[in-house]
Amino acid sequence: MTSIMALMAVLVVQASAGAAELIMFESAGCSWCRKWDADIAPAYPNTTESKCAPLRRVDLQHGGSGAVTVAAPVLYTPTFVIAEGGKEIGRVTGYAGEDFFWTLLQEQLAKLPEGCPKS
Whether residue 33 is contained in a domain is answered as yes
Which phi and psi angles does 93 have, rounded to 5°?
-100, 125
Contact 100, 93 (CB under 8 A): no
Whether residue 8 is contained in a domain is answered as no
Whether residue 4 is contained in a domain is answered as no
For position 69, which CATH number holds? 3.40.30.10
Whether residue 79 is contained in a domain is answered as yes
Give the chain's domain count: 1
pLDDT in tens, 9-21: 222 223 344 589 9
Whether residue 76 is contained in a domain is answered as yes
pLDDT in tens, 81-99: 999 999 999 999 999 999 9
Task: Give residue 62's pLDDT band: very low, low, confident or very high (50, 70, 90).
Answer: confident
Residue 22 burial by Cβ neighbours in a 10 Å radius (0-12, 13-18, 19+): buried
Whether residue 10 is contained in a domain is answered as no
Could you list the residue range(s) of the whole structural domain that residue 45 is in? 19-109
Report the residue count for the chain: 119
Angle between helical axes of 98-109 and 31-39 (0-180°, round to 10): 80
Whether residue 59 is contained in a domain is answered as yes
Say what the pTM is: 0.81
